[in-house]
Structure 1
Amino acid sequence: MTEILARTVEVTRTYGSVTALDRVSLDIHAGELVGLLGPNGAGKSTLVNLFAGLRRPTSGTVELLGGSPLDPARRRGIGVTPQETGLPPALRVGECVDFVRAHFPGAVDRGELLDRFGLADLVKRQIGGLSGGQKRRLAVALAFAGNPRLVFLDEPTTGLDVEARHALWDAVRDFHAAGGTVVLTSHYLEEIEALAKRVVVIGEGRVLTDDTMEAVRGLVGVHRVTVTVPETPDLPGVIGVEREGDRTHLLTADADALVRELVLTGVPFSGLEVRPTSLEEAFLVITGREPQPA
């Protein structure tokens, strides 16, 4: 059986009267790339902070690499990019990387790390003079500096442009392909869809679903029916409508019935397409939210 690198057992975490996590049990196995998905305030960052030893549970058990996340020896086996980072502005990029690397006996070569995250040209720049996106890339790179077994990335690409985001995706894929384990939170649904093999959807502090990407899409049975029509007729079974130019996207749990009803209305249409739900559409249904018309 695959080794469990991190685990929560019936974990609850409260902040005063607010329950951030409610009896959450979750195993992270070696070699997984897990996407934590959920709306703001769902408990994703709290869960990452518990695994990283930055917070303690109110009740329940958290394990990391076979021991307690509060044990520094365990934490040396992980890398973390928190949602918000405060990097020392007076240090140069190379100095900051060297400082973090010095804490790990098997650290990644500095040049290799900088190249992997597109930071080689910035090695002598002071952190205070970097753009927000450059600081974010450095924060993510530091999570990999110690050659960790397990990396937690909390909203890693916030503030990055499309090109930088895709470059970071490639770096995460390479780490995973080499045997690394990744737990990733993101509000970019396309990011989870592009990277994760397993999706854990969290809402109101609880695990709503935990399965493969394909199973999460299929769980709710939502399909997208796309057509070009002069006007959209009233059709039964439509749970969401989106318009994009002259194309109308209809979300439905029964695509066959919807197409039959569309034909029976006699409204002329063209360019009929039917495809499975995207992760975003599945997410809306799982969390009980309604897709919004465009």
Structure 2
Amino acid sequence: MTKHRNDYIAELVNVTKTYGAKKAVDHISFNIEKGSITAILGPNGAGKTTAISMMLGLSDPTEGEIRLFGSDPKDRQVKEKIGAMLQEVSVMDGLKAREIISLIRGYYPNPMEMAQLIQLTGLTDEELNKRATKMSGGQKRKLSFALALAGNPELLFFDEPTVGLDTTARRLFWRTVKQLANQGKTILFTTHYLQEADDMADRIILFNNGSVAADGNPESIKAKLTRRSVSFVVEAGQNLVMERLYQVPGVLEIFELEGRLHVVTENTDQALGVIFREEMAVRDVRVEMGSLDEAFDQLTQRQEEAV
């Protein structure tokens, strides 16, 4: 079934952003669907923050087109539908948190109810009555989250949202994000915590050197790994088992860890075929995909080698 344009909340078509001779973003194209949670990953300087800044209408693409809700990101009716929590939290220092939230709510035609904002962000009465200058880093992040939600947006941008948050605050933040997505809101976030992307995102877009290196759900990104491993417990003749498996094409490394032998290979099926066909004295055989961290390292490294 062909998607229609209005199924997409955001569309980027062949977008490039140059600063002098440097291409911060280099001909990227992707669409974001309503109600999805998308993680943008990539090493520092990969173009993640530049892409988000253009989608928010804070800077213009050098080439290409960006549409949010089918319109220019700078249009007023678009701005009323989006919320953003960026890395730098700058708020009006002289006001109390509650007053800042009330002020920002007043800018929107259909703001989120104050009670719901408090419930979603976990801000306490004590925090709401604090002046921004007196707030800790973690409290300022919570305030920033509340300000992103103040206008009851349909599309939310979070740039490294959980940096500086403790484990409890991080867990609350992601539980809230899931709740928002279940209400039909669309979430786009960048993170350095690969586990967060693996756990939370329906889709990962991996940036490297300003381009999209990979795009898919976490499982498909991990499936791009060439290195996978087969592990098992050897009951007899470990040296013979190792010797035989080193002869199998695609086997890169064999090592022992916590009583199990791990065979790192480019072709798990081939290694398994030899183990079972030759009835090796092994048990508890497992195939391990590898982690998102490894996929991330391999995909970015592979791109750099290709340059």
Residue 186 of structure 1 aligns with which residue?
191
Assess, with a 3 A threshold, how the Cα gap between structure 1 residues 32 and 247 changes in structure 2: closer, same or farther: same
Q: Deviations over 1:187-213 (max 9, x none)?
A: 100111111101111110001121122
Q: What is the CA-CA distance between 1:51 and the residue it aligns to?
A: 0.6
Give me the whole-angstrom Cα distance separating, in 1, the residues matched to 2:10 and 2:254. Answer: 38
In the alignment, structure 1 residue 97 sits paired with structure 2 residue 97: no
Q: 1:277 Cα deviation (Å)?
A: 2.3
The match for 1:10 among 6, 9, 14 is 14
Instruction: Confirm or deny: 8 A CA contact 1:221 1:277 kept in the other structure.
Output: no
Task: Decide whether aligned partners of structure 1 residues 239 and 126 sit closer, same or farther in structure 2, where only a CA change above 3 A counts.
Answer: farther
Task: Work out whether residues 225 and 294 of structure 2, in 8 Å CA contact, stay in contact via their aligned partners in 1.
Answer: no
Question: CA 1:275–1:80 in structure 2 vs 1: closer, same or farther (change >3 Å)?
Answer: same
Cα–Cα, structure 1 residues 73 and 226, in superposed 2: closer, same or farther, change >3 Å? same
1:278 is matched with 291
Match of 1:254 in 2: 267
| TM-aligned CA deviation for residue 111 of structure 1 | 2.1
Secondary structure of the structure 1 residue equivalent to 2:301: coil
RMSD over aligned Cα atoms = 3.0
| Alignment gaps of 5+ in structure 2 | none
1:141-220 correspondence to structure 2 within 5 Å? 141-220=146-225
> Residue by residue, what CA displacement relative to the aligned partner does 1:66-121 show, whole Å, maximum 9, x if unpaired?
11111122111111111222122222111111111111121111122122111123
- Structure 1 residue identity aligned to 2:79: R
Alignment TM-score, normalising by the size of structure 2: 0.81
**Residues 111 and 120 in structure 1, CA contact (< 8 A), matched pair in contact too:** no
Greater mean deviation of Cα atoms: 163-172 or 65-74: 65-74
User: How far apart are 1:34 and its partner, in Å?
Assistant: 0.9
Report the equivalent of 1:132.
137
Q: What SS class does the counterpart of residue 184 from structure 2 fall into?
A: coil
> Counterparts of 1:61-72 in structure 2 under 5 Å?
61-72=65-76
Larger relative helix fraction: 2
Distance 1:89 1:190, change over 3 A: same
Bigger radius of gyration: 2
Task: Provide the secondary structure at the position in 1 that maps to 2:18.
Answer: strand
Q: What secondary structure does 1:171 align onto?
A: helix
1:31-78 Cα deviation digits (max 9, x unpaired): 211111111111111111111001111111111111111112211111
